[in-house]
Amino acid sequence: DEDEPFVLLHTCARGSRKSLSDLAVEEFCRALAPYRVVLAGRAKRELPVADNCVNLLNHTSLLQLVWLLRHARFTVSVDSGPMHIAAALSDRLISIHTWSDPRKVGPYNENAWVWQNGELNKVRDLPATTGKIKGHPFKRPDIPQLLPLIRAERERSPVSFGTTP
């Protein structure tokens, strides 16, 4: 149902240690219940899903993914190609970076959000780099930090197709 608002969660990336764990995905979905969460992208493994999830992993074309990104009330994505598409379409995005430097690899939308090493910042407010980044995996205890941002956006009125608030 395209009229029912949803959060899009993109969980997997090809880079080593960039993908979310099964437990983090499951907890993220559970934390947003009863709000609908749509899982999208490519995955090498089946992920457990909660009742409020629609699992479209390995079942979307690139055009369908773009449609989902445009219609999502909010997108949470690991550092990946779909994250860059989301940043080009909207600032309703949290990009999760474990070891990659968002100052170098994006997202390049200054109003998008970046989670890294337990901190959540807008791209425009990222602190200056201090050299090599120590990777901090995104885990279940990090999820509550994202929820107020997502819930605030969820309460806003629906966004028209192809526009950025």
Residue 124's Cα: distance from chain center in Å? Answer: 18
* Predicted confidence (pLDDT) at residue 156 exceeds the cutoff of 80: no
CA-CA-CA-CA torsion sign (53, 162, 20, 16): positive
pLDDT-derived band at 18, boundaries 50, 70, 90: confident
d(CA 18, CA 37): 20
What is the pLDDT, as a whole number, of residue 135?
75
What is the pLDDT, as a whole number, of residue 105?
92
SS3 content of the chain, % helix, strand, coil (to 5): 30, 20, 50
**pLDDT single digits (tens) 55-101:** 999 999 999 999 999 999 999 999 999 999 999 999 999 999 988 89
d(CA 135, CA 17): 9
Question: Where do the H-state alpha helices sit in the chain?
Answer: 22-32, 62-71, 81-89, 102-105, 143-155
What is the pLDDT, as a whole number, of residue 158?
53
d(CA 151, CA 154): 5
pLDDT-derived band at 42, boundaries 50, 70, 90: confident
**pLDDT single digits (tens) 99-140:** 889 999 999 999 999 999 899 999 999 988 766 667 788 989
